[in-house]
Structure 1
């Protein structure tokens, strides 16, 4: 139990930190940056899964359409996540996205598994959901006041909301791979291997969607030349490190849920997002996103979200 929560804690730290790698992607255009990043993420995901399970192709037949579909939704929404950080900053995007992701990623698995709580537990759940919505609204208002109606900020908030919906779908997809998890467990594969392979259809599906988006944008904007600019190799190496931090967050989250038990999949997603929000807010403050601006509403919004997640 202690090991499971320790891994969940580490996962939240990684989840709240990888967005730092999105703040500067020069000399690439955005599409070149995101396309290369998605490719590196996919290589990382497949590589780790294959190392853990050398006979990986034999297990493809156990994959269902739900994890792949959820991954595709996440892949499109992740485009919005990246673009939103450009427009409204890391702390704002994480606040809105993580709040919505918590609702979708924790409640939908309960609905799909017919495991919604009843009685007093149901009351706590609904209170938590209402407080989550309030927290997201407060954080959004804080950002609107900070930006003062700056060009592109409205689109940034919308993209953050959409990214939260897609991020929540990731946990639905992970839970949808439980049959594969049982097969691997029966064959005595490690818990790390089970986590890696359960994430595979979700993350590969998302990365492919991201690359398709970027290829189209690179052709439309005629920005292919940016992949050859001076400094592109160094930036690609840094993006590879970012991809490993991002994947470590999800891999450790999955590992923690496998150790703690499937009943913790919803609660674990809540704690995972809560810690990520705290870490990302700290990074946003450290990098000057709120310099010379009032932080009171931001802190209140984060506090409301964290309080809400104690009810869910």
Structure 2
């Protein structure tokens, strides 16, 4: 693996640290329902941060959009809608079965589908048999790790905390699987929106910052889906009054922090995936998802989610996390096997050039 690819791998893992921890501030909120803080988070993560980041790094952002074909913009927006529905169900799934287990199931499914679809639809011409074998094996190990983590969480079915949740464990698990499938649309929008960040790259925009031009188009559908559902819940349950709680100002700060952490992770993913080369948006996505699961589970354990769990559940969780670490190592090795085609970058980041 080249130095550039090693840097890309490190940046993608760092992105996973940010993405895996973005839900943590929700544990410190009081007096708010899920829909209250999710609306604040959605505004920060999906509206404010993407535009601030793009405007700060892409001098002629609107000019880039004018030059892109309408078909590409529509495709990115459609992927954003799917991603938005996945984000809504993400929050509900994590609330139903917990931070650690919810992240494991959702991101394991998202990693697999988000990795395989770009490879199957637009396979790179220099993708070797060895890479295919290692990638498939690593994804299999990743899925096994997710299954083991899911079995570890079965103790939650009889846990006292489970009775206070809005949904049962089994329903929450199903929501998480659906969320994982839809959340893969985020990577598909990145992989198939290559024309946008290719046009953004130029003398004033380094190639590794060019993907920032994509987020303002990909994330607004996420805001509409998430904000619409949050407002519906507030109207149905009368929880809008929670904003009058004395702790609301602090909660707004925590919700905004969630948004900043989320966007920081996605921005770093764009940079790291570019550095990984032609397979960045496929293998990089799986590495991102795996590192997010590890970080989220570590935070879940540190914040006491598993304090009352039986010993067998903790052992299974540890085994599942170990499998995810093996999967990350395997995916990194698969990326190192790609042939040296003279460089990486925006021009080859989608995994195919035609």
> TM-score, with normalisation over the residues of structure 2?
0.81
CA RMSD of aligned residues (A): 2.2
Matched, 1:84 2:93: yes
Quick check: 1:23–1:85 contact (8 Å CA) kept in 2? no
Instruction: Tell me whether 163-172 or 299-308 shows the greater mean CA deviation.
Output: 299-308
Matched, 1:207 2:207: no
Quick check: 2:40–2:256 contact (8 Å CA) kept in 1? no
Task: Pick closer, same or farther for the CA change 1:137–1:241 going to 2, 3 Å.
Answer: same
Distance in 2, Cα, partners of 1:304 & 1:148: 26
SS in 1 for 2:214: helix
Distance in 1, Cα, partners of 2:287 & 2:140: 17
Matched, 1:48 2:57: no
Distance in 2, Cα, partners of 1:26 & 1:71: 31
Cα deviation per residue 1:154-190 (whole Å; 9 max; x = unaligned)?
2221222122222222111111221111111135413
Instruction: Give the alignment partner of residue 31 of structure 2, picking from 27, 46, 65.
Output: 27
Task: Pick closer, same or farther for the CA change 1:292–1:32 going to 2, 3 Å.
Answer: closer
Equivalent in the alignment of 1:299: 318
Distance in 1, Cα, partners of 2:245 & 2:230: 18
Cα deviation per residue 1:182-219 (whole Å; 9 max; x = unaligned)?
11113541345412212222222212211111122222
Distance in 2, Cα, partners of 1:219 & 1:10: 38
- TM superposition shift of 1:276: 1.6
Instruction: Tell me whether 245-254 or 52-61 shows the greater mean CA deviation.
Output: 52-61
Equivalent in the alignment of 2:22: 18
Distance in 2, Cα, partners of 1:190 & 1:122: 31
| Stretches of structure 1 lacking an aligned partner (at least 5 in a row) | none
Quick check: 2:124–2:278 contact (8 Å CA) kept in 1? no
> TM-score, with normalisation over the residues of structure 1?
0.91
Equivalent in the alignment of 2:155: 145
Instruction: Give the alignment partner of residue 132 of structure 1, picking from 139, 142, 155.
Output: 142
Equivalent in the alignment of 2:132: 122
Equivalent in the alignment of 2:75: 66
Matches within 5 A, 1:84-233: 84-115=93-124, 119-148=129-158, 150-151=162-163, 152-186=168-202, 188-191=204-207, 193-233=209-249
Equivalent in the alignment of 1:286: 302
Equivalent in the alignment of 1:251: 267
Aligned residues: 312
Task: Pick closer, same or farther for the CA change 1:46–1:164 going to 2, 3 Å.
Answer: same
